[in-house]
Structure formats: C-alpha cells, structure tokens
Structure 1
Amino acid sequence: MTELLETETGSTERPRDGRVTRVIRAFGWTTIGIGVFLLGFVAHQLFVTTYFAQQANQGLTEEATSRFADVEITEVPYLDPTAGPVDTTVPTDPMVDPEVRFPTLFVEAPPEVGEPFAIITIPTIERLAGGWAVVEGVSRPVLRAGAGHMPSTPLPGQPGNSVISGHRTTYGAPFHELDLLNPGDLIEVETALGVHTYQVTGSEIVSPRDLWVTEDLGGATLTLTTCHPKFSSRQRLVVFAELIDGPNASTILGT
C-alpha cells in the first residue's frame, strides 16, 4: 500500500511540476525576446540611422554646393539698429554727394523647407571638421536629414540671431560633441554669399521651454542647440557665437 501511495503521489505531482517549468521557460524566452528587440532598436537608433545619415550628408552637401552657384543674391541698404534715430529733416540743398556710400548687405533668396542651403564646419569637433549640411527647417523629418535651420530666424551671415539645431545621438548625431566647444572656438557656415565665421562666446543648459535663446541677441549671432544630456531630451545644450568675419561682417560690425 505504501508503494502504491508513493506511486500515485508521484504521478499526480509530476504534471504540476511540468506546467510550472513550461511557464517559467515561456517567461524566460519572452524576456529574452524583449531584450533582443530592445537591443536591436537601440542599435538601429544609434548606429543604423547614424550610418545612413552620414551617407546622406555627402549628397546633401553636394546639393548645397550646387545651390551656391544658382541662388539669387541681391544687395540691400542696411540701417544699423544701434545708430539712433534717423534725421528726417529735409535738407536745403538736395544734392547728394556722389562720394557718400550708404552701408549695404548681401542677401540671398531664402531656401525652401527641406532644402540644403549651407555647410557648417567646426574645426575643433572631429565629426564637423569636414563640414555638415544644414537644411531649412527643424521638423523631425528635416532633422533626420541633417542639421536644421530655424526658419523664423535670420539666415547665417545676416543681422540677428540665426539658430541651427541638430541631433546628438541619432541620425548622424552632428552635434554629438557640441559640449566640447569653448569660448574662442571658431564656427564656419558657408552659404551662397560665402563663408561666415563665428566665434563661440559661451554655452548654457536650458529647458526646452526657454525660447529666449532663439530671440535676437543684438548684432549678428549664431545659436546652436541640441538635446542634453546625451540619450535624453530633458534639457537643451545651447552654444552662443558671434559673427567676426564674412561677406557682411564689416557692414554689421561697422568696421
């Protein structure tokens, strides 16, 4: 009887053990599957998108260079906003001295959204030392193609605050090492007008809601923005620079 009871007990317990084992095994394989999926997703975001973005950058750079030769450039009068009120008194002698030259600016036709129109080069950052295309617009599809210029701000080389944004960890990550910039470092932005050289004046970590960084800061400035910290969009890293050389520099700076 004892042997029968033991046999019956064993025959009833083994199926229970089998079900538990199958559940544990299924859970384990599911966990492994999720882990593999997440690793694949991260690898795709960090490496695959970066690879294709870097390959596409060459084509975008060539498009921007082609645009340089075709875009319309005009020369317009420039009124220095710091010069004070304009004298509106009617002169007694209406003759204009032919030797007097009024300051002018070179202006290029604005690009269409999604169009590559500039090349940004930062010699002190390896990824940008060879140049990276700047595309008009800052929407997600545009930023997947390259660095993006905020359409509501002036083009590089013009008076006001020109704002350029770029990814830091995906889609080529053109601004991956933006935190390495120091005051005094140079940034070059080439457009149809020529090369505009800016000098870094500082940087700041701000909230995505701090839109003051896109406002006119006086003179001719360049603001670069990217996510901070790396692998997060919780904050923004902002680098400020001011124009020191270029086709319009002498007019804007009054030199």
Structure 2
Amino acid sequence: MIRFLKYFTVTFYMTFLLGCFSNYQSAYVNSGAGLRIRSAPKLSSEKMGTVPFKGEVKILEKDQKLTHIDGFENYWYKIKSEEGEGWVFGGYLSFKHPDFLPPGSNSYTGLVYNHPIQSIKLIRMHIINESLFLNLYQSDSKHIFAFLERKNKISENLTEWRVLHAITMDTLQKDEELLNRVSTECFTPGLDGKEVILAILKIQMRKTGVTIGNHYEMVLDKLKIRKAWTLSEDKLFLQPVVKTKGIECTIFDPGNQFKAISE
C-alpha cells in the first residue's frame, strides 16, 4: 500500500509538472543559423547553447525592456528547449512554425500596428493598389526590410497596417541597388511573365560622349539581378524567383529607354 502511494505521488507530481510545462507558449527559431541561448538577456552574457532553425522552445518569461539587435526591435525571452534553458532574443523567434510562414519571413511578419515603428525608417513606398503596399524600411546602414502591407482605414483618425510578409534584404554589394519600379520595369521570362516587384540588381551604364538635347547619350553594358521576388497569386506574400537569369527589364533614363536581359 505504501509503495502504491509513493508511486501514485511521484506519477501525479510528474504529470503535474509536464502539464504545467505544456501550458507555456511555444515559439520556433526562425533563423537559418539557429539562435543562441544566453545566461542573461544581453549579448555580452555567456553562451549556453544553440537552438537550431525551426527548433521549438517554450516561453517561460519575457524581459520588459525592448532591445534593438540586427535591425529588429524586440524583447528577450527566457526559454526552455531540448538544447537548454536561458535567454534568447525575440527578433529571431516566430510564434508560428516556419513551415507555415511565407518564404523568408522575419519576425515582423504578422505585425499589426497603428503608429509608425520607431526603430525603422520608411525609405521607399510602392503602391500596388489602394490597400496593398510594398514598403522598404531601413533600420541602420546594414539592415533593410521589405514589408508587404495591407492598409485598413479604421476611422478618420486611425489607420491600421497589417504586415502580410516581411523579409530581411541582403546587404547590398558594390554597385548593387534595390529595384526602383519607377525607373525600371522587370518581368520573368516567357509569355506568362510576372512582374518583378522587388529585386537586388546591378546596372552598368556609361556615357558615349554624345549629347542629345540636354542629356548625354547612354549605353547599357550590363544587367545582373542577384535576387528577385514577384507577388503571389493571392497577393499575400512575396514569392522568390528561383532563376533570375533571363529576367527581362526596361530601364527608363532621361532621354533614353533600354531593354536588357539579366545575365
């Protein structure tokens, strides 16, 4: 009887602990390089381990101070995982499994806000339609984000923005630029070509020395697109273009118009 009571007590205690632990909110690592666990909510603290990409963690606690790291403004979370217990930065966590997020999503995906995000600055706005926008934001010299956003006017004085898809742009290499759809139009190859709405590209042009009116005659020497995205059919996310070679572009320059195919 005593042995039974001991067994019952241990079993009940373990079930209680597991039940309590299962009540913690799950989150998933949304960084291809994994996410480091630290002993305290700061980058200078000791490294305790690394949770791999798509690894699940249980949220135990949230630090109350917003922190700015790698262009993201987020909180530190105390977590428990198979790799250990400690603190991780929330900018690389997602509360949805990465397999159920649009490709390349960062932690701004799904955000709904009514006031400008203080940690990032709008540097370019593209209007897709009256309620859908592709906006580029810069956090610092190294971090640029692309937001596919839906605008919803709640009232005369209140507008809600919903981030359908947010991605982190690669650092631009020498002579590269972000596609400006005002001066450059690009389409994927073929009769059913889709418009490229976002791209990292390199355009090399030179002056011939001849003037046309008030402008120099220009020659396009090279067009290379490193990364590109089109709008998904349902207009809910940015679809990566698998093969950028062969993308056809028209470049508008004062007094000139050039057609080119990406190398």
Task: Please classify the TM superposition score into its range, dividing by the shorter chain length.
Answer: 0.3 to 0.5
TM superposition score normalised by structure 1 = 0.32
Q: Specify which structure has the higher proportion of helix.
A: 1
Computing the radius of gyration from Cα coordinates, the structure with the larger value is 1
Q: Specify which structure has the higher proportion of strand.
A: 2
Greater RCO (CA < 8 Å, at least 6 residues apart): 1
TM superposition score normalised by structure 2 = 0.31
